[in-house]
Structure 1
Amino acid sequence: MLARQRQAAILDEARRTGAVRVSELVARFGVSDMTIRRDLDVLAARGLVEKVYGGATAVLGESTDEPGFEAKFVRQRAQKEAIAELAATLVRPGTAIGISAGTTTWTLARALGSVPGLTVVTNSIRVANVLDETSQPTRTVVLTGGVRTPSDALVGPVAVHSLRRLHLDLVFLGVHGMADGAGFTTPNLTESETNRALVEAGSRLVVLADHTKWGIAGISTIADLAEANVVVTDDGLPELARKILAEQVDELLIAQVDGAD
């Protein structure tokens, strides 16, 4: 196979699944690790993929682009962990909270292992699974029904109907993008409706978004910036974005990141 053909196949796989790993590509094409890395360098130089540790992810370009969970998980891992640790301090024992689908919210769920007496409502299979793995006798996990999306969210009329009958103390929302004017957005129209129902079920809204989400606008708005009581982000957020958010949300929390992706 010529290099150009191999690179086209790699790009197709990245766009289909959201991410590719060097080790898997080496096995698939029967070439060296260095050859695959050169292929990824070529694709990255053309702006078609973004190199990450161990592989690459497809580059988002459209308001309806929706990568899968694995593709998003490898991005900004240090930032997501710092955001999750800070957000977990907002959770009090014995409260009822909602957690949307997403990689940052999944990381938050992992950080809640020591908080007793929680009732957690989520439309994410992955969030429910990680909560079960760290379950406590006093914890209740409620998983909404619905149709599964590429980001492993359960969405649609069944999920919306379930959420509209609930009353939660705190809702943690992960987003595809946040921008002045567009607000907090998603590339999935059905997921937007379900997330809006989750937001409406909560007394307080906490948005979790790393700095790379700023300036990105998905096709559908979940909530305006001013609807968030708290935004938890990381110290890579530009000063102008901090100023805009600080003027519109009740509280802006900045997580300090010790390491880089």
Structure 2
Amino acid sequence: MLPAARHQAIVDVVQRERVVRVSDLAQQLGVSLMTVRRDIELLEEGGKLERIHGGAKLPGDASTHEPGFEQKSTQLTAEKRAIAVEAAAMVQEGMAVGLSAGTTTWALAKELVDGPPITVVTNSVRIADLFHHAASTSPARFSSTVILIGGQRTPSDALVGPIATSALKQLHLDVLFLGVHGMDAQAGFTTPNLLEAETDRAFVAAARKTVVLADHTKWGVLGISSIASLDEVDEVISDPGLGSDAQRVLQDRVGRLRLASALGQPA
């Protein structure tokens, strides 16, 4: 493939996926990692994309842009599954567990469906549907309780706003697993939706322990509204693609950082 055609192919993938890894591009294009990195550098100079650790994203992706659930659910599936498996091991029978909306928390919900009986509190339509399907198809082995709070629906299928926030203020959770749009040393954990930020802050206030589930592409991404600062969170579970600088910041600021490797991949 000629360089011009390869560059256009990379731009097409980034425009479609919004975030893409160097390793995935190299495999798709049949070239070396070094070649893809050089291509990304040239394309960034031309304003076609923006480099991030281990990949590239759309340039200047707006802080209020909110991708839909379907789009996000096809991205970084192996990393999200590894993070979900790590998080699921923290859940014990009888716990009251908060699951905020998001594709990584949805991956966690899939792990919890066959887990010990717990009470799940969520503002995610997708997560509630997942548990409802499990209860209706296998009622004999499904014994968890699911509470879906109400509210205004977002593009990511979260229920947010005053109704959701008011409901959460009445609850007490053992642990909250929080999905985020981005994480940053100064801004902390952020979302592109103002109402979702308010609801997520209520989730954090209701929980004795908050665990953020975020793959490595979330580092350096800024949503318009902050949910919590780094030091307000007890734990972050990410993946080994997280850059060394990001790891140092998180290890210094959050209670604990864990990197979950996908099955068959080294940590």
Q: What is the correspondence of 1:206-245 to structure 2 with a 5 Å cutoff?
A: 206-245=211-250
Q: Say whether the 8 Å CA contact 1:210–1:233 is kept in structure 2.
A: yes
TM score, norm. by length of structure 2: 0.75
Q: Deviations over 1:137-165 (max 9, x none)?
A: 43100000001000000001110110000
Aligned match of 1:203 in 205, 208, 230?
208
Structure 1 residue 140 corresponds to structure 2 residue 145: yes
Q: What is the correspondence of 1:163-202 to structure 2 with a 5 Å cutoff?
A: 163-202=168-207
Q: Which residue of 1 aligns with 2:138?
A: none
SS state at 2:209 partner: strand
Q: Which residue of 1 aligns with 2:80?
A: 80
1:97 is displaced (CA, Å) by: 0.6
Q: In 1, distance between residues paired with 2:77 and 2:121?
A: 24
Aligned match of 1:153 in 139, 152, 158?
158
- Structure 2 counterpart of 1:99, one-letter code: L
1:47 is displaced (CA, Å) by: 7.2
Q: In 1, distance between residues paired with 2:85 and 2:236?
A: 14
Q: In 2, distance between residues paired with 1:186 and 1:259?
A: 32
**Unmatched runs of 5 consecutive residues or more in structure 2:** 1-10, 20-45, 51-56, 136-140
Q: Say whether the 8 Å CA contact 1:171–1:198 is kept in structure 2.
A: yes
Q: In 2, distance between residues paired with 1:79 and 1:47?
A: 28
Q: Say whether the 8 Å CA contact 1:210–1:234 is kept in structure 2.
A: yes
**Unmatched runs of 5 consecutive residues or more in structure 1:** 1-10, 20-45, 51-56
**Identity within the alignment, %:** 51
SS state at 2:176 partner: strand
1:257 is displaced (CA, Å) by: 2.4
Q: Which residue of 2 aligns with 1:4?
A: none
- Structure 2 counterpart of 1:144, one-letter code: I
Deviates more, 1:245-254 or 1:132-141: 132-141
- Structure 1 counterpart of 2:199, one-letter code: T
| Structure with the larger strand share | 1
Q: Say whether the 8 Å CA contact 1:105–1:172 is kept in structure 2.
A: yes
Q: Say whether the 8 Å CA contact 2:134–2:142 is kept in structure 1.
A: no
Structure 1 residue 91 corresponds to structure 2 residue 75: no
Q: In 2, distance between residues paired with 1:64 and 1:95?
A: 34
Q: Say whether the 8 Å CA contact 1:175–1:184 is kept in structure 2.
A: yes
Structure 1 residue 62 corresponds to structure 2 residue 59: no
* Change over 3 Å in CA distance of 1:15–1:190 after alignment to 2: farther
- Paired residue total: 219
Q: In 2, distance between residues paired with 1:235 and 1:96?
A: 29
Q: In 1, distance between residues paired with 2:248 and 2:15?
A: 35
* Change over 3 Å in CA distance of 1:125–1:58 after alignment to 2: farther
* Change over 3 Å in CA distance of 1:152–1:47 after alignment to 2: farther
1:228 is displaced (CA, Å) by: 1.0
Q: In 1, distance between residues paired with 2:16 and 2:253?
A: 37
Structure 1 residue 111 corresponds to structure 2 residue 149: no
Q: Which residue of 1 aligns with 2:256?
A: 251
Q: In 1, distance between residues paired with 2:210 and 2:144?
A: 21
* Change over 3 Å in CA distance of 1:234–1:226 after alignment to 2: same
Q: In 1, distance between residues paired with 2:71 and 2:115?
A: 29
* Change over 3 Å in CA distance of 1:128–1:16 after alignment to 2: same
Q: What is the correspondence of 1:8-27 to structure 2 with a 5 Å cutoff?
A: none
SS state at 1:134 partner: helix
Q: In 1, distance between residues paired with 2:237 and 2:16?
A: 31
Q: Say whether the 8 Å CA contact 2:151–2:164 is kept in structure 1.
A: yes
